[in-house]
Structure 1
Amino acid sequence: MSSPDDFNQGADYVQSLHRGLEVIRAFNSERPAMTLSELAECTGLSRAVVRRLLLTLQYLGYVTSRGRLFSLSPRILELGFAYLGSLPVTELAQPLMQALSDQVGESCSLSVLDGFDIVYVQRVAVRKVMTVSLGTGARLPAYCASMGRVLLSDLGDAELDEWLAAAPIEARTPFTITERERLREIITAVRTQEYCYVEQELELGLCSLSVPVRDGSGRVAYALNIGLPYGEGVRQRALAELLPELTATAAAIGRNLRGH
């Protein structure tokens, strides 16, 4: 089998599929609608190629157009829901997460690791803590998110070193830890302490406490968190009051997964 580095030179590589996905991924909250020229600039593809891809996606119902502007249609959600529907955890975790959120009065989220990001697969929100909208499918950089550090803690030493060496790391706030060796120390410590607390590293005013959710093999399959607004005594509350409840909920989700 070809390596990821040279796969796109092999006979199994489908360039048109790759390009079609690049066009879909070019749309985001900052660019919800674009002209053909703007999409060509974003993707680095020629106008002729982008035009054919857009017309095909429009024919399939995944893209709509209004004048010169193209945008994704609601049907694009089918692609994400196909993945979410294949995850037993989304159905098994939701009532437990809702109960936890009701009990502590804070938002609760569940995520997986995907490359250099975490991806939200379930969320129960009670208030908006971040300036960006968080919901199922939202992505955040793993290195400065508590759930990301929990998920990264399951990597072996060599794999973690490789991840840290390749990850795009930058300061998102004045408190963001960007030194790779320090991040390695923090992530390694999460392995033994079984939780991660992050304060204002991802966004000012946001704190987060996360724990692992383990599958039947003991692997960290998901990370579960509680998001908190920053304030006096928030760390003490997180560790003394919320950590036991969060850990118990993660264990219950894990048991449900193993029994599924």
Structure 2
Amino acid sequence: MAGLAKGLAIIELFADGRESLTVADAATGTGLSRAAARRCLLTLAECGYLAFDGKFFHPLPRLLRLGFAYLNGDPLPRVAQPILESIRDRTGESISLAVLDGDDVLFIARAIATHLMVTGVAVGGRRPAHAMATGRVLLGGYSAKQLDAYFSRAHIAANTPKTIVDPTRIKAAITQSRLNGYAINDEELELGFRAIAVPVTDIQGRLVAALSVGFSSARSDNQSMIEEYLPLLKDGARTLGQVLPRDILATLL
């Protein structure tokens, strides 16, 4: 089982958008020794999950099976997709659905706009929760004790000069997002990119996911974003919450 855990840890490194890994990259990213990382990489290559060109290991299509196993088994992305596409068609912007996975935001469904996006987030992509509107909405479901634990272990780094990294200020932003019913990301994750997110709750009022729209900051300021997109996001979140299966949280644990 230890070998399986090491292999999965290496596979997860590709979730950060990396196109290739060296043995040194894998060792650094997982905390394994170089010898152990090399053995795991070669095993994954032998099993058809990675290709090896003599220096770099690259993911192969077989890795998609692991992701599709989740997407096919979890009803949330399937139920949400038509709703995301409806909001996308009404706004002309890309719409995303995400959940918390550990200390990161994990995107599980997307409806992509026809124009180019400034962010490379895709289904299966992960981003730091503290620097995202989506993350602050999801962290809003934590108790004070859970938030303290999150800040004690999470890596709080600045993605841009605008990223808030002071835990006190982040906690204040999370509290404000709870009160407002939405959160905004103003170029904290990526310069030139803004987003607004709202919570998705089930019929029992439990926080399940976050729904967001993101776009180039050149196309809208924060106030316009609130006026134009917030009502549509809230309507979509409400619709999604009403059609979710009662046991939806069990599929996310």
Q: TM-score range by the shorter chain?
A: 0.7 to 0.9
Cα distance in 2 for partners of 1:173, 1:106 equals 23
Conserved? CA contact 1:89–1:253, under 8 Å: no
Q: Deviations over 1:128-184 (max 9, x none)?
A: 3335x2210111111110000000001111111221232211222222111111111
Q: Deviations over 1:80-106 (max 9, x none)?
A: 111122221211111111111111111
> Aligned AA for 1:243?
L
1:220 equivalent to 2:207? Answer: yes
Q: For residue 45 of structure 1, report the CA deviation from its aligned partner.
A: 3.8
SS in 1 for 2:244: helix
Q: For residue 246 of structure 1, report the CA deviation from its aligned partner.
A: 0.7
Aligned to 2:185: 198
Conserved? CA contact 1:39–1:50, under 8 Å: yes
Cα distance in 1 for partners of 2:101, 2:139 equals 10
Give the alignment's TM-score, normalised by structure 1: 0.84
Cα distance in 1 for partners of 2:54, 2:162 equals 45
1:15 equivalent to 2:15? Answer: no
Q: For residue 70 of structure 1, report the CA deviation from its aligned partner.
A: 2.9
The 1:207–1:55 alpha-carbon spacing in structure 2 relative to 1, beyond 3 Å, is closer
Which of 78, 82, 98 pairs up with 2:69? 82
1:154 equivalent to 2:141? Answer: yes
SS in 1 for 2:81: helix
- Structure 2 unaligned spans of 5+: 249-253
Higher mean alpha-carbon deviation, 178-187 vs 49-58, is at: 49-58
1:130 equivalent to 2:98? Answer: no
| Structure 1 segment 178-197 matched on structure 2, within 5 A | 178-197=165-184
> Aligned AA for 1:250?
A
Q: How many pairs does the alignment contain?
A: 245
> Aligned AA for 1:109?
S
| Structure 1 segment 96-107 matched on structure 2, within 5 A | 96-107=83-94
RMSD: 2.3
Conserved? CA contact 2:118–2:215, under 8 Å: no
Which of 82, 100, 105 pairs up with 1:118? 105
Cα distance in 1 for partners of 2:104, 2:78 equals 23
1:241 equivalent to 2:237? Answer: no
SS in 1 for 2:198: strand
The percentage of aligned residue pairs carrying the same residue is 38
Moved over 6 A (4+): none
Aligned to 2:162: 175
> Aligned AA for 2:161?
P
Give the alignment's TM-score, normalised by structure 2: 0.87
The 1:95–1:58 alpha-carbon spacing in structure 2 relative to 1, beyond 3 Å, is same
Cα distance in 2 for partners of 1:144, 1:42 equals 21
Conserved? CA contact 2:19–2:59, under 8 Å: no
> Aligned AA for 2:53?
R
Cα distance in 1 for partners of 2:59, 2:208 equals 31
Q: For residue 77 of structure 1, report the CA deviation from its aligned partner.
A: 1.1
Higher mean alpha-carbon deviation, 207-216 vs 48-57, is at: 48-57
The 1:112–1:232 alpha-carbon spacing in structure 2 relative to 1, beyond 3 Å, is closer
Conserved? CA contact 1:107–1:124, under 8 Å: yes
- Structure 1 unaligned spans of 5+: 1-13
Please identify the structure whose Cα radius of gyration is greater. 1
Q: For residue 66 of structure 1, report the CA deviation from its aligned partner.
A: 3.3
